[in-house]
Amino acid sequence: MALDYFALGLLFFVAIVMFYGIIVIHDIPYEIAKHRNHPHQDAIHVAGWVSLFTLHVLWPFLWIWATLYREDRGWGFGQRLQKDEETLAALQEEIATLRSRLDDMTQAKGE
């Protein structure tokens, strides 16, 4: 009889731990978004709850969505383009310098 109550108590304990465990696991993308100051953290939070009802299909995509943004670099695309433009400008300037030196050398050789 005592073993039956212990088993019933253990069953309730396991059910409650699993219930709250699933909720905690589904809040991980939201916690990542909140930590990174993500501009869409509310949408990620709501989509996490929707994912509970869609058999967790959305959850991996929410994880990716939450980790793409970082407060220091944003989505990560803008600074790379700016750096590429600076590199391109430096290369164009170097090419112009080399062309002028080549022209000077050709004129000096021709005289």
Per the confidence metrics, is the pTM higher than 0.75? no
70, 33 Cβ separation under 8 angstroms: no
On the question of pLDDT at 42 being above 80, the answer is yes
Q: What is the pLDDT of residue 28?
A: 94
29-48 average pLDDT score: 94
Per-residue pLDDT band at 72 (split at 50, 70, 90): confident
The Cα 69–Cα 33 span in angstroms is 8
Backbone angles phi, psi at 92, to 5 degrees: -65, -40
On the question of pLDDT at 40 being above 80, the answer is yes
Report pLDDT digits (tens) over 47-68.
Answer: 999 998 898 899 999 999 999 9
Per-residue pLDDT band at 81 (split at 50, 70, 90): low
On the question of pLDDT at 10 being above 80, the answer is yes
Token pair 């978004």 in the structure block, residue: 33
Look at 111 and 105; give whichever has higher pLDDT: 105
The Cα 102–Cα 30 span in angstroms is 59
Q: What is the pLDDT of residue 108?
A: 87
The Cα 111–Cα 21 span in angstroms is 85
